[in-house]
Amino acid sequence: MQKLEVFGANKLKGEINISGSKNASLPILAATLLTNKKVYLNNLPKVKDIETMISLLRSLGSKTKFNKKNLIVDNSKQNKNFASYNLVKTMRAGILVLGPLLAKFGRAKVSLPGGCAIGTRPVDLHLKALSKLGVKYKIIQGYIHATAPKGLIGTKITFSKISVGATENLIIAATLAKGTTILKNCAIEPEIKDLTNFLIKLGCNLKWLSNRTIRIKGVKNIHEIKYSVMFDRIEAGTYLVAAAATEGNLRIKKVIPEIIKTEINILKRIGAKIILKKNQIHIYGNKTIRNTNIKTAPYPGFPTDLQAQIMVLLCKANRKSLIKEDIFENRFMHVSELNRMGAKILIKGNKALIEGNIKFTAAELMATDLRASVSLILAALTTRGKSIINRIYHLDRGYENIEKKLKRVGAKIRRIN
C-alpha cells in the first residue's frame, strides 16, 4: 500500500496551476448519458473518481477515448441501464447516473453508492423527488430498481433540504421529461451552475428563475458539443491554506477568484495578504495567524470540503477558534490524527473547539477520507521532521498530482510503497 512521506518546515513559494473540478466533472459525465451524439470534454482532472465514473459509463455501453486533453464520449451504442456495485461502491457520485438512465430508458438498476465515510448522506432526497416525476422504485439487496411506466413527467418539486447531489440528479433527469419541471430550494454550488451551463449548450431548456429555483422544459433533440469544465475550487482553497500555514508566497493560477470570495475573505480575516487578478490569486502567509469562528454551509457559505484544511490553520492561530460543521455529521475524523500531532481540539457535537497556539510535531498518520488526507499533509508541512501518511488512496480520488505540485513550490514530499 502506498504512503506519503512529508518533511516539513519549508515555506511554499512559486506557482500552482489548478486542475479542472472533480465535483463539476462527475455530474457532467453522468449527463452525457442523455445524448447519443459525441461529447468532447476538456479540463477533466486526472483523479481516481473521474477514472471510476468513466469506467461506469463504459460499463453502461458508452465509448470513451482521450484525444490529447479531450475526453470524447460516444453514446451512439449506449443501451445498458445497470450500474454495478463494483463501480459505485467507492464513489458517491455513482448515484448521478440514475436520473439520466431513467430519462433515457424509463428504467434503471443502480447500486446504492459508497464514497467517504463522512456521514449518512442518504439518497432518499433523490428518490422522493424522482417519484414526483413519475418514478416507481424499490430497494432490493443494495440496488435501486426504478421504473417510469409513463416516462418522466414534469411537475413542481421543493426539496425538503438543500442537497447538491439531489439537485444535480433531478436537473439532469428533468431535461428529457415531458412538460415543465420547477425545482425549488436547489443547491447553487458553482459546480451545479457548470452542469446547467453544459446542459444548455447541449440543447436543454433550463432557466434559473431566482436564486434557488430553476425551470426545466423537456426537450427531444440534443446537440454534439465541446465543453471545458470549470476549475476545482476546493483544490484552489487547499493550496491557499497551504500557503497561509507555511508562511508561503504562492500564485494560484487558472481560477476565477469571484467564485471563492468567501474563502478568500476568511483567509484575509485570519491574516493572509491576498492580491486578486483576473485568473490568479497571489497569497502571502503571515507569521501571525488570527483566530476566527467558522461554520460550514451550502454555497455561498464556507464549504464543508475545506473544513479540515482550515482547521489546520486555526490550530496555529493566536487564540481559540471554533468550527461548526452544519453539512455532515461525521466530518471530524481527522481531529484525532491532528491531536496526535500536538493539536488541542475538543469535539462537542457538531462543533470543534480549537485551542490555537500550537506547533505540530511529525508523526505517522492515518487518513480517513479525501479531505482529511490533505489536512494531514498541510499539518505535516509545518513540522520539523518526517511524517508518514497512510491510506492515501483517499487522496488520489480528488487531487491531481498533489505531491508533484507541492514539490514544484518547495515541499519535501514523496510517495513510497
Place of cell 421504473: 147
List the one residue out of 176, 109, 173 whose CA is nearest residue 146: 109
DSSP string, 36-105: SSEEEEE----SHHHHHHHHHHHHTT-EEEEETTEEEEE-TT----EE-HHHHTT-GGGGGGHHHHHHHH
State the DSSP code for 258. Answer: G
Contact 37, 76 (CB under 8 A): yes
Cell of 410: 518547495
Catalytic (active site) residue 204: no
Give the span between the Cα atoms of 370 and 394, in whole angstroms. Answer: 5
CB 11 within 8 A of CB 407: no
Active-site residue, from 116, 186, 204, 315: 116
Q: For residue 68, what is its C-alpha cell? A: 490529447
Q: Are strands 70-74 and 38-42 parallel, antiparallel or unpaired?
A: antiparallel
Location of C-alpha cell 462543533: 351
**Catalytic residue positions, numbered:** 116
